[in-house]
């Protein structure tokens, strides 16, 4: 019973996020006159929908036949990149943050064996490359997030920032028991992408971060 409930939770959260984003998009298209009220917060609502979906999206592999848990397909930045192809940058940004939060938790299992390892169909487990895969995809999520934020000016950007702080705070306070290592992983990934975008990435910067 408990395993069925856990599986349902991994499905309902992505569905709820998708429903929120779809409702906002439908409202803009079909009810433009009424939509003016929440129009300034459209990007934040789309971002929130993506965030709600992304936090549990990687574990949807538990509900997909043929995929092992910790599948490399779902435990990646792929689903955050996908909305960019359909001109939905704020959904992509929310997904990116949610997936990054989830992956930051997955990088600290009790031991890197069995169910903790990243797996692919046909190929199987990638073994001790699993931490590297997770870290690279957290970095990939931040690339998507950094691509999204500059597209929204003024009040929308502040609203998205509020969603980021509230969502990240909720996740770490309610979901995480060991918070230090995931936070350090997120901070390092954020710094890495930030420095690369500024053209300042160097070995010395990475060494100084850990020093």
State the residue range of the domain holding 165: 2-210
How many domains is the chain partitioned into structurally?
A: 1
pLDDT band at 78 (very low <50, low <70, confident <90, very high): very high
How far is 66 from 61, CA to CA, in rounded Å? 9
> Each residue of 16-59: pLDDT tens digit?
999 999 999 998 888 888 778 787 888 999 999 999 999 999 99
Buried b (16+ CB within 10 A) or exposed e, 68-107: bebbbbbbbbebbbebbeeebbbbbbbbbbbbbbbbbbbb
> Each residue of 130-159: pLDDT tens digit?
999 999 999 999 999 988 887 766 777 788
Percentage above 70 pLDDT, the chain:
87
How far is 185 from 179, CA to CA, in rounded Å? 10
pLDDT band at 178 (very low <50, low <70, confident <90, very high): confident
């Amino acid at each position: 019973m408990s395993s069925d409930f856990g599986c349902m939770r991994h499905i309902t959260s992505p569905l709820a996020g998708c429903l929120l984003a779809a409702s906002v998009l439908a409202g803009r298209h079909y009810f433009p006159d009424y939509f003016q009220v929440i129009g300034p917060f459209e990007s934040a609502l789309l971002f929130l929908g993506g965030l709600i979906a992304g936090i549990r999206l990687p574990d949807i592999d538990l509900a997909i036949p043929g995929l092992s848990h910790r599948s490399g397909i779902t435990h990646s930045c792929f689903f955050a990149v996908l909305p960019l192809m359909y001109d939905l940058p704020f959904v992509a940004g929310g997904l990116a943050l949610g997936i990054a939060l989830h992956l930051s938790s997955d990088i600290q299992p009790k031991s890197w064996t069995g169910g903790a390892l990243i797996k692919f169909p046909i190929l199987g487990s990638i073994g001790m490359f699993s931490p590297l895969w997770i870290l690279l995809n957290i970095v990939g999520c931040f690339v998507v997030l950094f691509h999204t934020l500059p597209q929204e000016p003024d009040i929308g950007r502040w609203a998205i920032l509020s969603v980021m702080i509230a969502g990240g705070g909720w996740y770490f306070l309610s979901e995480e028991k060991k918070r230090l290592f995931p936070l350090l992983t997120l901070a390092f990934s954020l710094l890495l992408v930030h420095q690369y975008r500024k053209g300042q990435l160097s070995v010395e910067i990475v060494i100084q971060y850990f020093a």
